[in-house]
Amino acid sequence: MRKSSLAGLSALALTGGSLLSLATPAQAADATVLYVRQMSTACTDTGPGTLAQPFCSIAPAVARVTAGQTVDVGQGTYPERVTIASSGTPEQPITILASNVAILSGATAGFVIDGQHDIVLQNMRAKGAVDVPALDLRNAAGITIQGGSYGMASVSTAPAVRLTGVTRSTLRQLVASGLALVGGVTLDAATTGVVIRSAIVSSGSTFKTADHSIGIRVDGPGNTVLNSTVGGFTGGGIEVGPGAADTVVVNNQVSNSAGVGIHNRGAAGTAITNNTIRDHCFEGIRVDGASTGVSVQNNVLITNGVGSQQHCDPSADSTAVIGVHDDAGKMTVIDYNNISQPGMNYAWNGTRMNLDAFRTVSGQAAHDKETGLTRDHEDSANSAAPGYQSTDRAGTARADDPAVPNTGAGPVTYADRGATEAVGTPIAGIDATPDLGNSSVAVDASASRAGFVPITSYVFDFGDGTVVTQDKPVASHVYSTTGTYTVSLTVSGSDNRSDSASLNVSVLRRTGTIGLLSLVNLRYAGSPAAGLGMMADQAALGATAQLDLADAGNGQVALYSRATRRYLTNGGSVRPVTTAVTETEKFNLLRNADGTVSLRWGGTNYVGVPSGTAQLTATATTIGTREKFYRVNVADADRSFKAGANGRYVTAESGGTKPLIANRTSVGLWERFDLVDLGNGQIGIFARADNRFVSAESKGTLPLIANRASVGAWERFTLIRNADGTVSLKAAINARYVTAENAGAKPLIANRTAIGPWEKFTLG
C-alpha cells in the first residue's frame, strides 16, 4: 500500500532528507514501464529508466522492477547473464519483454529465475552459453516464457533450458537450440504442473557428439508437452523418466534422432497421443521399465527403427517401431496408431514381431494400421484417448472428411491420427495471361483444388482497386494504365474455409510482335512450354517462336512468349518463366550494321545460340555470329507474291535451286517467304523452300535466286507500297525494280527503272 502524503513527509523530517532528492526515484518506482535502450546516447545504468533516459543494460532495470511493472528491452546485443530476483503476483506479474531484437550473448548469456514467482519473460533471446543453461529456472512458480529463443554454443555442456523445482508454469512458443546440444529442455523430478506448448527444440547434432542428448526430458510428475516440434538429438526426442507420473505428450512432431522418438522410461500414467514421429534410428515409441497405465494412441509413425540411415548405428535394424518391454505391459494401451508400412514393427518384451503376432501376445493394437496410404490416418482416431485435444498442433479444430468413412472411436469419430488434422482447406491455384495488345489480363483459377466441399466463391483482386467475386474460375480485366500489378485470388467453400494465392503480372505497351531468326543456323528461336529454354531449332515462325516486344522503359524491352504466356528471363539460360517483368526480364534490342539485331542483358552480356540443340544463353561479352538474329515481324512472315504480269505466284523453283519465277497457280512451301526487317526501310526475302535469302544475283544482272545463307549487299530490297494496293521490290545493289520478265514467262530479275504492270505484285 502506498503511504499517505503525511506519512511521507514525516519520514522525510525524521531522516533530515530533501524533498527534491527523493522526487526522481519515486517517479521511477511508480513508472509502469522501465526502458532499456542500449543504442540510445542518453542511456545510463544509474538513471530512472524512462524512455528519455533509459538503462543501457538489462540487469540494472531488472534489479529495479517490482510487481506489476514491465522491463521493455530495445534492440541490441547485451553481454549479460541476468538474474531476476523479484517476484510479481498472479494479478500483477513482472514482465521482461523485448520490443525489438534484443539478444543476450556470451559464454554465460541467459536468464536465471531462482526462488521467484509470477514472472513473464517475453520474446527475449540468448545465445552462446557454454556451461550454464541459456534459461535456468529454479524453485520458481507461476513463470510464463512467451516466445524468444535460447541457443547454446557448439561446445556447450549444459541443456539450453533447465527447470529445477518449478511449478505451475508455461513455456510457450520458445525455441531451444544449438549445435550438438547435450539437452534441449529438462524438467527435474521436483518440477510439476509445467506446460511446454508449441515449442521448437532442435539440435544440429552430427550424432557423433553430445552422447545421449535428449530433446525434452521430463522427470517430474504432472507435466505436459503439447503441440511442439522436437528433432536432431543423439539420444532421442522426448524422454519421460520413472518419477514423471501422469505426463501428457500430445500433438507433437518428433523427428530425426539417433535414438528413440518418445521413450517412456518407467513412468506411470503417461498419455502418448496424436504425435507424428518419424526418422528415428531406434523405436518411434518405446515403453519400458516399470511403466504402468501408459496409453499410446492415435500416433503416426514414419520410417523409424531404420539403421540404414546415415546417422544411425546399424544395430538399429534389429529394433521395432513400437516397443513394449520389461514389466511395461501392465495396463498399457496400444491402439489406433499408424505405421508407415508393414513389417516386423512391434516388440513385446524384447521380441520383434508383426502386427498380428503383437495383437495375439499383448491383446493390444486392435485398430492399429500398417499402411503408406496418405489419407489412411484421417477420421480414424480415438477421441476418448487420454490427453486427446479437440484441436491439432496448429490449433485447428477437428474436421470430417466426407470422402473418408468415420472409423474412429469416442465422441468425435472423425478425428485424425497424428499431430495434424486434415481440414479440407481448398488450395488456390492461379495463372494469368496478360494481353499486351489491349492492356488486359485473364486470370485462371481452374488449377484450384477443392477441400472437403466444392469451391463456391472465387474472389479476384486485380491490384488496381478492381475486385471481382464470382462462382466461376476465370475472370478478365482491362487496365487503364500499363504497369506491374499484384493479382490475388481467394477461393472459398461452403464451409467457409479458404485459401489465397497471388502473382505479379506486367501489362506493358506492346511495340511489335516478332520472331528471332538465328544467323548461325537460320532457325527461329522458340520454346514449346513455360520454363523450357529457348532454342533456335524451328524452321518456320510458328506459334512457339512468336514474341511480343514490350516497352520496359529506359529504352529496354521485355519479350513475351505468346505460346507460353510468359516473359523471357535470364537465369543461366533464356527461358519463358515469369508473368512479371523485373530487371532479369529486361533487354536492350540493338541493331547491328549488317541488319541483324542482338539482345543485350544486364548491360554487358549478349544472348547467343551455343548450338541448334542448346538453349539460348546470355553469357557472351561481345557480339559474334552466334549473338546475331534477323528480326522478322510476325505480320511479314509466311507471305506470298502474286505477279501482276500474269496473275501467277512467285516460286523458288525446284526447292530454291533455280531462279525465282512467277508460274504457280497456288501457294505451297516453295511459294512462301518471310520478309526480314533489316532496318532503314530495307528487307531481306527469306525463302521457306530452302531457308535461304533471295539474292539479286551478280549485282542484279542475273535473275533472283534463293541461295544465300546471310544478307549482304545483293540480298537487300526496299518494299514499295503502290497506290493500288500492290507492292514492288527495289534491289539495293542496283536501285532497279524487280520485274516478272516477259509477262512472267521468264525468271524475276531486278533490271527495271520504273514500275509498270510487270513490276507489281500482290502480297499475300
Distance of CA 116 to the CA centre of its chain: 43
Single pTM value for the model: 0.70
Integer Cα distance of 441 and 479 in angstroms? 8
Question: Last residue of a domain, which of 172, 205, 227?
Answer: 172
Q: Are 536 and 624 in contact (CB under 8 A)?
A: no
CB 716 within 8 A of CB 732: yes
Q: Are 82 and 46 in contact (CB under 8 A)?
A: no
- DSSP codes of every residue in 696-721: EGGGGTS-EEEEESS--GGG-EEEEE
Residues 735 and 675 reside in one and the same domain: yes
pLDDT at 205: 58
User: CA nearest 253: which of 220, 283, 222, 284?
Assistant: 284
Q: In this structure, are 588 and 666 located in the same domain?
A: no
Please write down the long-range contacts of 104-107, taking CB distance under 8 Å and 24 or more positions apart. 104/58, 104/78, 104/79, 104/80, 104/134, 105/77, 105/78, 105/79, 106/79, 106/80, 106/81, 107/131, 107/153
Write the burial class of residue 480 (CB in 10 Å: 0-12 exposed, 13-18 middle, 19+ buried).
exposed
- What distance in Å separates the CA atoms of residue 360 and residue 282, rounded to the nearest whole number? 23
Please name which of 335, 337, 369, 362 lies closest in space to residue 347, comparing C-alpha atoms: 362
Q: What is the CATH number of the domain that holds 216?
A: 2.160.20
Residue that is written with C-alpha cell 530490297 in the block: 717
| Residue 341 sits in the same domain as residue 212 | yes
> Residues 92, 192: one domain?
no
> How far is it, in rounded angstroms, from Cα 239 to Cα 264?
6
Minimal CA–CA distance to 320: which of 285, 290, 288? 285
Per-residue cell: 241 = 523418466
> Which residues, including other chains, have CB under 8 Å from residue 124's CB and lie 6 or more apart?
73, 96, 97, 98, 102, 104, 111, 148
Same domain, 465 and 558: no
Residues 267 and 203 in one domain: yes
Distances (CA, A) of 416 to 84, 366, 408: 43, 17, 8
Please tell me whether residues 1 and 44 are part of one structural domain.
Answer: no
Q: Give pLDDT < 70 ranges for the chain.
A: 1-30, 205-212, 307-311, 315-317, 612
Same domain, 521 and 576: yes
Rounded-to-integer distance, Cα 700 and Cα 680, Å = 21
Taking only the tens place, the pLDDT of each residue in 495-543 is 889 999 999 999 999 999 999 999 999 999 999 998 899 999 999 999 9
Neighbouring C-beta atoms of residue 406, cutoff 10 Å: 15
Bridge pairing between strands 260-265 and 285-288 = parallel
Question: Are the beta carbons of 132 and 164 closer than 8 angstroms?
Answer: no
Pairing of strands 483-493, 285-288: unpaired
Regarding whether 290 and 327 lie in a shared domain, the answer is yes
Of the residues 634, 658, 680, which one is the last residue of a structural domain?
A: 634
Question: What element of type H or E holds 633?
Answer: strand 629-633
Tell whether 162 and 293 lie within a shared domain.
Answer: no
DSSP, res 427: B
Domain ends where: 423, 441, 476?
Answer: 423
What CATH number corresponds to the domain at position 663? 2.80.10.50
Domain count for the chain: 6
Phi-psi region of 689 (alpha: psi -120 to 50; beta: other; left: phi over 0): alpha
Domain hosting residue 697, numbered range: 638-763
In this structure, the answer to whether residues 168 and 98 fall within a common structural domain is yes
Whether residues 541 and 644 fall in one domain: no
